[in-house]
A = this chain, B = another copy of it.
């Protein structure tokens, strides 16, 4: 299992514009057969700081997501409004139910 945090930083005056793009990206991604979780959050302190929390079975599934039509079409449109580069953390679960 692969957990991902992806953070986007959008210019303040472009937040409304990217909302429709994010909604389409989330909707299409949740329909991918290998997608376990793909949820989008917004930083309480920074309305231009968007955080995806994702879950995929493995790295290959994440790669397939990044090659999807919706990802390749929508992410460059979102990136036109960024104020700095996105950040990604790929993570493994440390404490599983088995450990507790």
- In Å, the complex CA distance between A45 and B2 comes to 13
Asked if A95 contacts B5 (CB within 8 A), the reply is no
Asked if B53 contacts A94 (CB within 8 A), the reply is no
Identical copies of this chain, number: 2
A50 to B: closest C-beta gap in Å: 7
Q: Does A90 contact B (CB under 8 A)?
A: yes
Interface size class of chain A, counting residues whose CB lies under 8 Å from the partner chain: 20 to 34
In the complex, chain B residues whose CB is within 8 Å of the CB of A34: none
Contact segment of A22-30, A63-71, A74-82: A22-30
Interface residues of A (CB under 8 A from B): 3, 5, 19, 22-23, 26-27, 30, 39-45, 49-51, 53, 89-95, 99-100
